Structure 1
Amino acid sequence: MDKNLWEPGGRYHDTNLRDYESYRQEEQQRLQFQHDFAQSALKSGVLVNGGAIVALFTFVGHDKAVISSECLWWSFASFAAGLFFSLGAYVCAFVSQGQLMNWAAAKAMESRGAIADIPLDPAAEANQRSYATWGNRFVWGGLLSSLAGLAGFAGGAAMALAGFS
């Protein structure tokens, strides 16, 4: 086999390099898609729960509205809880990204140290683990909070529908 094909400038090397760069570019695009979908989901949670509260207030203000007051109260409470958890998901997203940004910065410093052949400080290594751990915990907290917000909306809608007579 001709070794020149595998060396830089060789046909196989160049093809593999192009493939690598293409896949890295696709990876970045998919990360952007994921970011956009997550942001839309967060906005939707706030919108539907807040909108449902406004809709209930509008319905209650109508003089011919007939709804059980207990169901109405539980519906408002459920929508408010859904709104609270949806906003909590935003807070978790903010904190998680701060922690993961700190982790990435620490890893960059580690890489820079490796280039200069400087050993990694054990305290810096512990900080990296801490940033990653807390970042991931807040990611999961945000996901669970979003799901709780969705459950609040579903519960509020069910209670509102159950209260109509």
Structure 2
Amino acid sequence: MSDDPKERWRAVIDSQMSAATADAADRVKNQLALAQEALKALLIANGGAMVALFTFVGNVLSRAPTVRFDFHNLRVAFCLFVIGFTVDLIAYVLAFMSQDRFYNTSMAELERLRSAALIDQPILDQAKEFKLIGQGFGYYFCGLGLALVSVISFALGSVFALAGVLV
């Protein structure tokens, strides 16, 4: 490495640009993994519960019409499963949006570093990066909250479904 400060600075910028590019690539991979794996189980659980509840009640009533169910509790259970499914879909979208903002943060950092390399001076203004990362965390925490609502809806829906069939 050279003793010239500008060359050393250029090497630092190049290194940071490579790191920012690698981070952006990792964010895209994380985005896909989050969207496909983290929320898939909740979609299957709530959606499967809706189908199972209808199937069970329909099969029992077709074979033994005198069996009694508490249809109020069954309606509440079904509504809770629908709520869980719906908020999970919204959480799915928020996961995508959060990762999009994190990716854009990496791209903004890369652009700032490119500009610094062109003028051979550091650019310390990271306002755009901070704004994007703040938005990303906002979407992230909203998505986590909705995923929690989905879990609670599934649990409560299960309780109401059980109460509806054990009359």
Give TM-score, length-normalised by structure 2. 0.71
Give 1:67 shift: 1.8
Provide the rounded CA distance (Å) in 2 between the counterparts of 1:41 and 1:128: 26
RMSD: 2.6
What is the letter of the counterpart of residue 120 of structure 1? Answer: I
Correspondence 1:40 to 2:43: no
Gaps of 5+ in 2: 1-25
Question: Which of 107, 117, 123 pairs up with 1:115?
Answer: 117
Provide the rounded CA distance (Å) in 1 between the counterparts of 2:32 and 2:94: 15
User: Any conservation in 1 of the 2:91–2:147 contact (CA below 8 Å)?
Assistant: yes
Structure-2 change in CA distance of 1:144 and 1:78 (3 Å): same
Higher relative contact order (CA 8 A, sep 6+): 2
Q: Which residue of 2 aligns with 1:15?
A: none
Give 1:36 shift: 4.3
Deviates more, 1:146-155 or 1:112-121: 112-121
- The secondary structure found in structure 2 opposite 1:67 is coil
User: Any conservation in 1 of the 2:43–2:88 contact (CA below 8 Å)?
Assistant: yes
Count of residues paired in the alignment: 135
What is the letter of the counterpart of residue 81 of structure 2? Answer: F
Provide the rounded CA distance (Å) in 2 between the counterparts of 1:34 and 1:95: 9
Q: Which residue of 2 aligns with 1:104?
A: 106
Provide the rounded CA distance (Å) in 1 between the counterparts of 2:86 and 2:144: 14
Q: Which residue of 1 aligns with 2:51?
A: 54
Give TM-score, length-normalised by structure 1. 0.71
Provide the rounded CA distance (Å) in 2 between the counterparts of 1:37 and 1:131: 19
Q: Which residue of 2 aligns with 1:16?
A: none
User: Any conservation in 1 of the 2:113–2:123 contact (CA below 8 Å)?
Assistant: no
Correspondence 1:151 to 2:148: no
Q: Which residue of 2 aligns with 1:22?
A: none
Deviations 1:32-87 (A, max 9, x none): 79974774230001000000000111122121353201101110111011001111
Q: Which residue of 2 aligns with 1:75?
A: 77
- The secondary structure found in structure 2 opposite 1:120 is coil
